[in-house]
Structure 1
């Protein structure tokens, strides 16, 4: 007889597959599955996956205790310009705040080829209101209440589904935004409203306005989607609470997600980074570089002292999203990346992708262009079928595509062409890995590389060598780490407030008052979510810059009373970080305090993966073998192991291949892998 309400379900929806895991909290057991996603209606794919895993695990719906979900609904709405019809209300004179932007070309863009990205709201959908608050919070011009009724009628006639309110200097005094919000909410109760003082109460009107607009655009979509999930779970007799993944690496309940949908944007890769960090902490690994390689892209993040690093300078559709998110660098390199030949005869790989349809030539779905997956298959690094036989691969079609479009035009063999494709894509990924480490003053040799996603473990061994990282970690379920990562997340909220203070004139009382205010808001939010005060964890931070600089660095701010010593310690941390990132600092220079931040965490009970039994011996005979090119140009007979047979303490020396449901791991000559108690493969270079 099953104990009631002891199972946790985590569902992560991707573009091609929906990954799901059900965890038994009492018997330390995981059951995992992959089902097809349904982009036309993500909720259908969600429930297909839930029903499938309940069947596989033989679990009754009533026994589910908690449900976690990572979704691309908000991300796709922004990327595909499919958000709700939204109006922006701004202060008089700032109607073109979005079009003007920063009036600069991104540093990494082509100076002559850059095209200004399309703004999510047209100027005709932006309405000015008569009011003015100064940067110190003083009301210079009170809000003209007589203009609100005509404004409400315009919004109603315009057929808007959402309204974003972003008034100048509202971060310093939110009174006018609150008045506008309350009036419109009572007058137009069917319209979703987002205010910048709630979404992002920090200075820089362009970034603040853009974040508020994005939140307003996705709010109706996210709200409807979450209601579908909640109703559908109840219809299926699952009365468990639902938690949604955020882009900052935490989770929040549906009532918060429904009004803060922008915090779900880019949350998919965040679950993978959080999951990798959790696995690292279990194994005593605190510093990691993670690479999540899927079919279209590779997502790279950095983990320091066991925590994924965050950023407030993320961009989506080349537009700023200044909310705190896990710092992830994405490149167009994955299993579906298309290989071609440039005019000068060089092999190009990506960023164009064959996607899931038509997919690589090997998929037999009409794809004719050679891809990274085709190259790996031709070289024998992939098995003849994926997902334990559910997807059969066509080696001849893959070979023909590479031969016709790469090998023959270059006058080389199919094997050499396939190796060339992999060399190019690996160098592309290695450059991105160095961008997150070397260009930040960090030595990759001090980090463990964690490779996951469907294609991560195939390329991980070569990337470890190219990057010269300490070792390679391949998780137990690499292809569904974003789902299993959800099981280790905590409730997390970020609070911030601009308090510009000049060097030498720090107002200690004001700093203390702001942190007290943010701490009070954080405690109230976590308590409302049912988190006891003994599980509250608050972390202070501050954004600092040298006088005259236009960007800030975020550094920790000491707990306890605010004194000259704690401020000096924070400034010293800023100098150290500036030196690490830019190779210089100015300890005598004037340092300005710009924003005060608070990260509030409500600690949940993380669900650890089941531990493996200890092996009687370090050696395990291979299950099979296949012809593969792992060194030189000739295929050789390479031993193959099934991942599910490996126990803690088993050791495998390369060249070797390890197959499993969701991926394949490749070990090259001179490398060896050891299985730890959590089922991870730790791969290192043999001692020379």
Structure 2
């Protein structure tokens, strides 16, 4: 089986090829083409094939992580969207909830008000009403009003329409009928219903999620169709699979209908790739640390299982999103992050990035602002002749020039300014890790830091030092670990249904009926993807809380027919999870089930990972010894540092820092008082020495 994984980042597009027959893995990187990422994707695939004598027509699958949806939201450049909603609820997506993003700020930005996904003049209301608890029709849908609304939106050149009715999560019949009418009146529109995107209570979050699906729908659908067409135009027969935020992949047809599922496409693949690499070396407790040119993504894997974000935490660019997502925290920190001094004289690094064009000054593409990459060049940590495997030469003079300008403003030496840039970035990333570990009751010292991305290995050891983490793992291909994660992903679908039931008055028959219906729906999705029934695994979950609480925790519900003892075990599990999350539990209090969920997975073709041999030696791997700068005991000092070629390192032999390890897709920095070992699975294991 021949597989290709392609991850599009802010600076580079990463490509990984795997052949299960020859046990061959090949990597390639090309600059991201921001105006049309599909051009970079195709360039990367075809260049890799041409350079390695591979017939592109023989590739079986292309797995792809895309940032199209995320960028459309972050840059506020989605489609002109409209909404048809229940009369009286036109402003739900503007009002939101009582909680503001910043409780005590009178000058805060509220995204859904400052940058509405659907402008008010494009929000239309119609007569209809369903009634809880079962979704019975209280007021019939006024179909004439729907037609009028659709015509008005079409006349205003609205490209995409979200249909959001108040109790549609209980009964979708009104939304389904309204969708059919809209398509009759406006057949070219992208039409989405809130019940099809997320059949769940909390109308503000459900409406906003549907509005976001409408907002990003046309650009994502066009991109997926364009990429699929480009693959066919290049003579490739490979099936395309797109990474979802939940850690699974889906077909182009699914993503074209529900693009909101891809909002964390690339970062989710990074968590999977980090977990795969850690498992090869027997590490199952990992903090994944994915640092690229623009951002740093942090995830936590506990005993090999990644956590899923809860309803209270799932936001993108400040907008609440009710779709399954791996719990990933992203900050604007990367190799391209720009260093600057604000109007008050404070020194900052990021979140603004120089991107790939013009990029850092060291790229010699016209960049005129100091970046983290420039600072690393000044400190001697990036070798000008061995960047991207020697494919790109760095402009050392240009890096010194831009860092020197900010150094003069600060009254520092160039080296001190460069070290300051790196320290600020490292501190920002360490604080981001604390927010996902220490602030959640997790001790980061019990985990290994899995450092990847183009810049993760550059900063991993120093960030680990700040957190007391004793071990850093750098995978075999750190710069393209997200692409590796794509090749390790599964086909995955989720279903959710609101189900208010209390433990003291449980309707077990209703639970069984609803779980069976949801499982049937998921099996139909897999059937449409031509997946054999025997390859599908189904898991059941419930979102539960103590009666009176505002948010839920997720618990497992066993397979098979649900009975009283099974639910008692599930409720006991809830008490344990609640105590682990909050430090206390109330075993005598009744528990309310809010939502039930089913997750279906089917294995995708998996990459075959070659095992390293004991070949290589320190002498063969040594490229040179040169001066680099590190801050030790508060002082910035120059050290004679060995530069090694990673492919030639001896396996199983411990070597001491300081050291710089060179390879095509990343540079690894081993500070003084750290050591490192190349293990048989291709990972570098960096180990902290004496505390400083």
Q: Does TM, normalized by the shorter one, top 0.5?
A: yes
Aligned to 1:301, which of 299, 302, 317? 299
Equivalent residue for 1:390?
391
Find the counterpart in structure 2 of residue 629 from structure 1. 629
95-104 vs 575-584, which deviates more? 575-584
- Whether 1:654 and 2:649 are equivalent positions in the alignment is no
Name the structure 2 match of 1:601: 601
Paired residues of 1:617 and 1:649 also in contact (CA < 8 A): no
- Point out where structure 1 has 5 or more consecutive residues left out of the alignment: 1-5
Q: Determine if the alignment matches structure 1 residue 643 to structure 2 residue 664.
A: no
**1:87 maps to 2:90:** no
Please say if 1:113 is aligned against 2:111: no
Quote the Cα distance in structure 2 between the aligned partners of 1:628 and 1:178.
64
Q: How does 1:321-340 map to 2 (within 5 A)?
A: 321-340=321-340
- For the Cα contact (< 8 Å) 1:615–1:650, is it kept in 2? no
Residues 628 and 638 of structure 2 are in contact (CA less than 8 Å); yes or no, is this contact kept in structure 1? Answer: yes
Partners of 1:648 and 1:28 in 2: CA distance:
19
1:38 aligns with 2:33: yes
Name the SS for the 1:415 alignment partner: helix
- C-alpha contact (below 8 Å) 1:640/1:658 kept by paired residues: yes
1:287 paired residue number: 285
The structural deviation recorded for 1:403 is 3.2
Equivalent in the alignment of 1:445: 445
Following superposition of structure 1 onto structure 2, how do residues 120-519 of structure 1 map, counting pairs within 5 Å?
Answer: 120-136=117-133, 137-311=135-309, 312=311, 313-341=313-341, 347-385=347-385, 386-406=387-407, 408-519=408-519
Q: Which blocks of at least 5 consecutive residues in structure 2 are unaligned?
A: none
> 2:151–2:186: 8 Å Cα contact kept in structure 1?
no
CA distance in 1, matches of 2:687, 2:272: 23
Describe the shift of the 1:350–1:235 C-alpha distance in structure 2 as closer, same or farther (beyond 3 A): closer
Greater Cα offset, 433-442 or 112-121: 112-121
Ranked by relative contact order (alpha carbons within 8 Å, sequence separation 6 or more), the top structure is: 2
**How many angstroms apart in 1 are the aligned matches of 2:222 and 2:359?**
32
Give the match's secondary structure for 2:298.
strand
Distance 1:122 1:412, change over 3 A: closer
Find the aligned partners of 2:279 and 2:524 in 1 and give their Cα distance. 29
For residue 669 of structure 2, what is the aligned residue in structure 1?
666
CA contact (8 A) 2:338 2:352 kept: yes
Q: Structure 1, residues 159-194: CA drift from partner, whole Å, max 9, x if none?
A: 222221111111111111121122333443322211
Structure 2 residue matching 1:238: 3-state secondary structure: coil
Match of 2:383, SS? coil
Within 1, Cα distance between the matches of 2:625 and 2:43?
Answer: 35
Q: Deviations over 1:23-66 (max 9, x none)?
A: 12210111211112222222222221121111122111221111
Cα distance in 2 for residues equivalent to 1:223 and 1:384: 41
CA deviation map 1:392-446 (0-9, x unaligned): 223233233333323x444443323322222222111111111111111111122
Q: Distance in 1 between matches of 2:628 and 2:2?
A: 41
Q: SS of the counterpart of 2:485?
A: helix
**Shift of residue 381, structure 1, vs aligned partner:** 1.1
Q: C-alpha distance in 2, partners of 1:173/1:621?
A: 65
C-alpha distance in structure 2 between counterparts of 1:218 and 1:405, whole Å: 39
2:48 is matched with 53
How many residues end up aligned between the 2 structures? 681
> In structure 1, how many angstroms separate the alpha carbons of the residues matched to 2:221 and 2:481?
26
Decide whether the 8 Å contact of 1:619 with 1:651 is kept in 2: no
Segment drifting more, 313-322 vs 614-623:
614-623
2:8 alignment partner, one of 10, 13, 17: 13
Q: In 2, distance between residues paired with 1:371 and 1:191?
A: 43
For residues 310 and 160 of structure 1, do their structure 2 counterparts lie closer, same or farther at Cα, with a shift above 3 Å needed?
A: same
2:73 paired with 1:78: yes
The offset of 1:468, in angstroms, is 2.0
Q: In 2, distance between residues paired with 1:451 and 1:532?
A: 37
- Cα deviations by residue, 1:90-131 (Å, 9 ceiling, x for unpaired): 111111111111243114x76132122211111111111111
Most deviating of 445-454 and 274-283: 274-283
Cα distance between partner residues in 1 of 2:682 and 2:315: 35
Classify 1:652/1:165 alpha carbon distance in 2 versus 1 (closer, same or farther; 3 Å): same
Contact kept, 8 Å, 2:389 with 2:664, in 1: the verdict is yes
